[in-house]
Amino acid sequence: MQIDIIEDDPRWTALTLPGLAEAAAIATFARLGIDADGCTLSLLACDDARIAELNAEFRGKPQPTNVLSWPAADLAAADPGAVPAAPEPDFAGETELGDIAIAWETCAREAETAGKPMADHVTHLLVHGLLHLLGYDHVRDPDATLMERLEVEILGRLGLDDPYRDRTGP
């Protein structure tokens, strides 16, 4: 597994983001039965200004958000609540999953509001972003139910509480 991390905002260095990202990816892949060998993804750790630019450019929403994801392949299931297709390696045996961006100020504000350690909230958002790269979504109710259940299970494996217990998740 390879996670290319760009820490665009220096505040991220204090959080040991590489370790959090690796733990989130390992737990997510293990829960979904995905072989992590050969999987690659990119993570941009930025500030609210940068993620607002990205959100405006790619989603037409010119405001900051906590996490954005750009899957390398459309793995989404056609039927509501169904499991997405598994990612497939390319001819070289690598499985490019896509890109994630995460914003410091929004994450810090949400963690404080929820009374959670920043590292726990960021881990949740990384799992959330990874699930998006793997074809999961929360637009349709059955898909949201499936995605939230997986997030809770994966975070539980990491020793973290259910982020939806008080409905303040992403």
pLDDT, tens digit, 9 for 90 and up, residues 66-122: 999 999 999 999 999 999 999 999 999 999 999 999 999 999 999 999 999 999 999
Q: How confident is the model at residue 168 (pLDDT cuts 50, 70, 90)?
A: very low
Residue 170 has pLDDT above 70, yes or no: no
Where does residue 53 rank: exposed (0-12), middle (13-18), buried (19+ CB within 10 A)?
A: middle
For the chain, what are the domain ranges?
2-157
Confidence (pTM): 0.95
Q: Which of 135, 121, 49 lies closest to 88 in space, CA to CA?
A: 135
pLDDT, tens digit, 9 for 90 and up, residues 29-70: 999 999 999 999 999 999 999 999 999 999 999 999 999 999
Q: Identify the helix (H) or strand (E) that includes residue 109.
A: helix 104-114
- pLDDT (0 to 100) of residue 165: 83
- pLDDT (0 to 100) of residue 169: 44
Please give the annotated binding residues for Zn(2+), written as ranges. Answer: 128, 132, 138
The four Cα atoms 71, 39, 164, 170 give a dihedral, to 10 degrees, of -30
Distance, CA of 155 to chain centre: 12
State both tokens at 73: 């392949």
Query: Tokens 């509480």 identify what position?
Result: 161
Please give the annotated binding residues, written as ranges. Answer: 128, 132, 138
> What CATH number is given for 2-157 in this structure?
3.40.390.30
